[in-house]
Structure 1
Amino acid sequence: MTQTITPRVRTLVLLLLAACGLLLTTAGPASAHAALTGSDPQQGVVVDKAPDQVSLTFSEKVALSNDSLRVLDPKGKAVQQGKPSEVSGTTYAVKLHSGLPDGTYTVTYQVVSADSHPVAGAFTFSIGAPSTTSVSVSGETAGGGVVGWLYGFGRYMSYAGFIVLVGGAAFVLGCWQRGAGVRPMQRLVVGGWLTLTAATLLLLLLRGSYTGSGKVGDIFDLDLLGNVLQTKAGAALVSRLLLLAAAALFISVLFGAYDKREDEEKRDLTFGLAIGGTVVAAGLAASWAMAEHASVGLQAGIAMPVDVVHLLAVATWLGGLTALLVALYRSEAPIESAAVRRFSQVAFGSVVALVATGVYQSWRQLGSWSAFTETRYGQLLLVKIGLVALLVGIAFISRRWTAQLADTVVRQNKRAPQKERVAASASGSGKSKGGDSKRAAQLARQQAAMDTARQKRTRDADPNRFGLRRSVLAEAGVAVVLLAVTTVLTQTEPGRTEQDAKAAKAASSSSSSSSTAGSGAVTLDMSFDTGGTDGKGVVTVDFDPARVGGNEMHVYVQRTNGRAFDIPEVKVALTLEAKKIGPLAVTPDRIATGHWSASNVQIPMAGDWKVAVTVRTSDIDQTTVSKNAQIG
């Protein structure tokens, strides 16, 4: 009988594609575990003479390439010499040419963090006095563009393939061994293997361009591929491919020789497949744990095994759920209620393991309650927790349908012997009449097909089975979105790292302000929120030497993660309320992304001046923040 894809299954496929596309296209460039915590010269500073080198300090060790650190003069010409090198710990430097003229210089960096994510950014400093610059740093992002999107899609598909492969095989071996002889189940698990293999090969090819130039043309650069194979991430991907070869052998046995064995032989083979399959699945999960967030930072020796357990729990639950959905919708052979009950028990254990490991991972990656709302990682984690809670709620409904389905099956089995006697009587009657054997065989096949169709219609009409199918489909739909959120989460800078970087930067800014206090310079930091999409950040205003008369004013606008914020407009107004002077409007000139400057800003009188800054982040979103500064 020809099977057609039901509207609900089509809806699930469309939901998968929509969720994947939406989350991956809106995810933006990948944030990383490492963050820039300091530099020498510092961002925006004006130094009297040209430095011999530029050094950058990160929150953890990073990997460098020959052009990881670049310094560009006001005309955009590179002025660094030699390769960047490690100075000490997490500080890296690049030498500069001697005799550099005055002006504003741009420092760009692109490195790879210890958890395999690219990190990029830029800032400016000036020699002698600020100047205009032709360098644009608005595009200094890592992991963006077409290559970044393809890499994100590859990560999503690799997770999906792993879940279907491991969860589907576990469902057949542990819950429904009859499924080893069901063609749709075989196609599902083989499809998971093919998806994971193809996605791994894609990630391996994309890796060099993803962490480097970001150009599509570099995807097939063999030199880049050779460099990737020498990195931790490259080794993890190659290990995954080797383990997939072992997984192919496991699949061939499970859906080949296994179904043909007798019950006693099958028990021994089940034990062997369970041990071997667990080892291969754990190895595949470890290929993620050994190269990503779990491999660096706090308690890495504990975090990696916990991450492996977490991934296996997710695969067992969501992959088994996918297999159950296929069994309910696509399989000709009816799935027994006992198999559904066994999966329900396995899923419950997986959820317990998922929650336990998830709590530890959340504590490790966030570090504080405030990180749930103040960091992007925490916000995504809240979404994930909500989806898991919704999934557990739907699963509870599925368990109720399973219990009712079991009662129905028991009643049907009691009536089965009588039907079999009637069928046997009809068969015997046909034989007694004799007739052409070929005709009898043809009739028998037709009768078998009719019986199969009738049984399927009877099963589909069963309200309990229909309810179970509907609830499992809803679970699978939520699982698709959950997987997409998890994929984005793995590419997002952990909340603990983001907050530590902010604290280190604040301490560095405070130290800088203290050191310049003697020279009369004033620095004001003000947080703002224009209320629109991506409207939060920090604006910093520097007055030097903060005296009556002419002053140099610099305005820096940054995102909450410390990166330069490319906004269309900044205005400054100065008011001395005690003397009813002002507001004196100052419109600074744009120097670089997130950096504005105005020279010879006249302060007519000493006093406690109110400095109001108007920040516009879009055509309609703007806000004004203010702070007082003692000038003169």
Structure 2
Amino acid sequence: MSRTTAPRVRTLLLLLLAVTGALLAGAAPVSAHAALTGSDPQQGAVVAEAPAQVSLTFSEQVAMSDGSVRVLDPKGERVDTGKTSGQGGNTYAVKLHSGLPDGTFTVTYQVVSADSHPVSGAFTFSIGAPSKTTVAVSDQEAGGGIVGGLYGFARYVSYTGFILLVGGSAFVLACWQGGSGVRAVQRLVVSGWLALTGATLAMLLLRGSYTGSGKVGDVFDLDLLSQVLQTKTGAALVSRLLLLAAAALFVAVLFGAYEKREDDEGKSDLTFGLAIGGFVVAAGLAATWAMAEHASTGLQANIAMPVDVLHLLAVAVWLGGLSTLLVVLHRGPSVEAATVNRFSRVAFASVIVLVVTGVYQSWRQVGSWSALTGTWYGQLLMIKVALVVVLVGIAYFSRRWTGRLTQAPVKEPVKVPVGASASKKESGGSGASKESKGSGGPKGAKGAKARPAKKGAASGGGDGKRAAQLARQRAAVAATREKRLRDADPLRSGLRRSVLAEAGVAVVLLAVTTVLTSTEPGRTEEEAKAATAAASEQTGGALSLDIPFDTGGQDGKGIARIELDPARVGGNDMHVYVERANGKAFDIPEVKVAFTLKAKDIGPLPVVPDRIATGHWTASGVQIPMAGSWQIAVTVRTSDIDQVTVDKNAQIG
């Protein structure tokens, strides 16, 4: 790499890392993959008698342990038995103690969805009549905080390690068998193995705190680790570590016995054996993701898991091979045009597999145009598709450079002085070092090698050391000259720039994919909304209205949710929930509501609800004198001076 090119490459890599970090930061806290669609008692309900238990219904099955659901009385004391039980389907319950007093009770839950992501939330109900409560619900979402950020970063590193390990190995076996002796390629593949192993161990330690308390101090809790090992995700991570032990043996053979094998027949048999064994190990590693995440739940899981394995393998072969080619072009010896051409064909086949499996997975996880355009998952998916299109477009130009390399006349090898072979190990055993054998070098090179050798042998003096030093200097100069000539080749320079651009887009693509795997699928999100709406209709047509607001001050944005039950003429129960943009309760000093029926010139009818919990106000007996399209105005005050009034129209009666 020339001096002018190196700063550009470093700047581009820093920019890509910054974009990657921004994308990963946007991924935390993780979106929930299972939604609460119903409860008994219902959210905000006022019941006459104390219930024997509280039941929760989710949009999909969840993993729940004792203590996952807690019920707190108005003073913040637990009133549940702590034992949760399944009620059939996706409904779970926890029993309550007898003799509960009247007042408002808070239900908190923290569970793990079927695709391994933590889900938490809270709601209230009242016995007899609403009352004030001292319960403070944590503003941190499950899977958020420092532990959530570390877990998300470890997920990204694990994907990166898998791609480098599998893609680099596939590049050597399928495209450039001579690359097994190149130090830069060896470092890349081993770095992938180390990254995947380290990230897997980190995820195993972080998992208990990630799905539980979110505290850094719980990372090394052995009891939590024991619980994690009994879960589906824990089993997948342990299986990945066992497969990585087999992968270590594969890497040792690939860069050891395989590189030293010289007879063609024996090397061919070893290539076949490594290809079969490597595919089995790579498919097993990919399956540890497929069997524990999105592909393992929902529609057609039996088909989705093997499809997901193929998808991951195609991504690894393409992007990992691309990374290997980039390293070789910048750090390794001269690579033949035939090698680049072979990788071009392998990459093209990988893209075809990637597109076919990606289309199926997209249909499975999205399912409708509304989910594609109206959910965060769908929007991320469109960004991913756009990046893939850009990557394929850049790859087209890389293929053009490859074609020019194939058609270009072969240049005479650069003659290197005797002694350059001393650098063979450093250069990977090819390129300048191979070409130097028998070249003779500059005049007097042989003498410089032979005479001091005898002197040194006889006297052990410094002439032998001096000769060896001169030989190393000549080898370094020759290698530098050869690299300069190689870098000056416009065809190879164009290919390097094209491959570097591909790798840059691939880094961002991998970050988007990591965020995508930790985001609630569009189909699941829409099904949860539909289930919630159906449950609302079954309870008598209660009105629920979300009104965004912005008081203009610091931390002044949020959503006010108005719930009116049964939303008919006469007396109604009203609940006001004020939430932040992330769905958590917003603790503000004051909320007022007013109803106006402009068509009949009625109102505004003011209502001042009572605060019963953080972000929750309620009022009973709200009178609606007649049916019509009512304007519901909400006044929200977030500080002593920041206040705003927002409104929406709704049909009542």
Shift of 1:424: 4.8
1:357 alignment partner AA: T
Counterpart amino acid of residue 411 in structure 2:
Q
When residues 133 and 442 of structure 1 are mapped into structure 2, their CA distance, relative to the original with a 3 A threshold, is closer
Partner residue, 1:68: 68
Alpha-carbon distance in structure 2 between the residues aligned to 1:328 and 1:396: 18
Partner of 2:150: 150
Q: 1:249 to 1:129 in 2, by over 3 A?
A: same
Structure 1 residue 617 displacement after superposition: 11
**Counterpart code for 1:506:** A
**2:632 aligned residue:** 612
What amino acid maps onto 2:598 in structure 1? E
Find the counterpart in structure 1 of residue 278 from structure 2: 277
Partner of 2:544: 525
What amino acid does structure 1 have at the position aligned with 2:115?
A: D
Q: Residue by residue, what CA displacement relative to the aligned partner does 1:267-319 show, whole Å, maximum 9, x if unpaired?
A: 11111111111110000000111111111111111000000000000111111
| C-alpha contact (below 8 Å) 2:569/2:652 kept by paired residues | no
2:651 equivalent in structure 1: 628
Native 8 Å contact 1:365 1:495 kept in 2: yes
Task: Give the TM-score, by structure 1 length.
Answer: 0.89
TM-fit CA distance, 1:17: 3.4
Q: 1:37 to 1:435 in 2, by over 3 A?
A: closer
1:87 offset after TM fit, Å? 1.5
Q: 1:444 Cα shift?
A: 5.5
Q: Is the contact between residue 576 and residue 607 of structure 1 (CA under 8 Å) also seen in structure 2?
A: no
What SS does structure 2 have at the residue aligned with 1:509?
helix
Alpha-carbon displacement from aligned partner over 1:517-552 (angstroms, at most 9, x marks no partner): xxxxxx32335455999979683331568555x754
Separation (CA, whole Å) in 1 of partners of 2:57 and 2:133: 25
After superposition, the Cα gap between the structure-2 partners of 1:621 and 1:205, relative to the gap in structure 1 and judged at 3 Å, is farther
For the Cα contact (< 8 Å) 1:535–1:617, is it kept in 2? no
Aligned partners of 2:562 and 2:574 also within 8 Å: no
Match of 1:173 in 2: 173
1:566 and 2:586 aligned: yes
Q: What is aligned with 2:563?
A: 541
Gap regions ≥5 residues in structure 2: 416-431, 454-463
Letter in 1 for 2:612: I
Q: Deviations over 1:43-69 (max 9, x none)?
A: 111111111100011122211111101
Query: Which residue of 1 is the match for residue 371 of structure 2?
Result: 371
Q: Work out whether residues 574 and 609 of structure 1, in 8 Å CA contact, stay in contact via their aligned partners in 2.
A: no
1:449 CA displacement: 3.1
Q: Report 1:258-269 matches (<5 A).
A: 258-262=258-262, 263-269=264-270
Q: Which residue of 2 aligns with 1:224?
A: 224
Q: Which amino acid aligns with 2:503?
A: A
> Is the CA contact 1:572–1:611 (under 8 Å) kept in the aligned structure 2?
no
Maintained 8 Å contact 1:525/1:538: no
Closer/same/farther in 2, CA of residues 546 and 441 from structure 1, 3 Å limit: closer
Whole-angstrom CA distance in 2 between matches of 1:290 and 1:617: 48
What is the CA–CA distance in structure 2 between the aligned matches of 1:508 and 1:544, rounded to whole Å?
14
Residue 454 of structure 1 deviates from its aligned partner by 1.2
RMSD in angstroms over aligned alpha carbons?
3.3
Q: Which of 612, 620, 624 pairs up with 1:591?
A: 612
Please say if residues 549 and 560 of structure 2, whose CA atoms lie closer than 8 Å, have aligned partners that are also in contact: no
* Count of residue correspondences: 616
Q: 1:315-354 to 2 correspondence within 5 Å?
A: 315-331=316-332, 333-354=333-354
Q: Does the Cα contact within 8 Å between 2:28 and 2:152 map onto a contact in 1? A: no
Matched, 1:396 2:415: no
Corresponding position of 1:518:
none
Q: Identity, % of aligned pairs? A: 65
**Greater Cα shift, 263-272 or 431-440:** 431-440
1:98-177, aligned counterparts within 5 Å?
98-139=98-139, 141-177=141-177
C-alpha distance in structure 2 between counterparts of 1:119 and 1:173, whole Å: 43
Counterpart position of 2:601? 580
User: Is the deviation greater in 460-469 or in 424-433?
Assistant: 424-433
- TM-score (norm: length of structure 2): 0.87
> Aligned in 2, Cα 1:551/1:538: closer, same or farther, shift over 3 Å?
closer
SS in 2 for 1:125: strand
Distance 1:306 1:609 in 2: 51
CA contact (8 A) 1:169 1:189 kept: yes
- Is the Cα contact below 8 Å between 1:63 and 1:112 reproduced in 2? yes
The aligned counterpart of 2:240 is: 240
Output the amino acid matched with 1:610. W
Output aligned runs, 1:279-298, within 5 Å.
279-298=280-299
Per the alignment, do residues 623 and 310 of structure 1 end up closer, same or farther by CA in structure 2, a change over 3 Å counting? Answer: farther
Q: 1:545 to 1:274 in 2, by over 3 A?
A: closer
* Superposed displacement of residue 135, structure 1: 1.6
State the shift of 1:422 in Å: 14
Aligned to 1:436: 451
- How far does residue 411 in structure 1 lie from its aligned partner after superposition? 3.8
Shift of 1:581: 2.6
Alpha-carbon distance change, 555 to 3 in structure 1, aligned in 2, over 3 angstroms: same
Asked whether the equivalents of residues 47 and 128 of structure 2 are also in contact (C-alpha less than 8 Å), the reply is: yes
Alpha carbons of 1:28 and 1:414: their partners in 2 closer, same or farther (altered >3 Å)?
closer
2:525 aligns to what? 498
Give unmatched runs, 5+ long, in structure 1: 515-522
Distance 1:574 1:267, change over 3 A: same
Match in the other structure for 2:429: none
2 CA distance for matches of 1:421 and 1:554? Answer: 84
Q: 1: distance between equivalents of 2:581 and 2:528?
A: 11
Render the CA deviation track for 1:443-500: whole Å, top value 9, x for unaligned.
6654443332111101111122111111111111111111111111111111111111
**Range moving further from structure 2, 529-538 or 125-134:** 529-538
Contact 2:52–2:96 (8 Å) recurs in 1: yes
Counterpart residue number, 2:537: 510
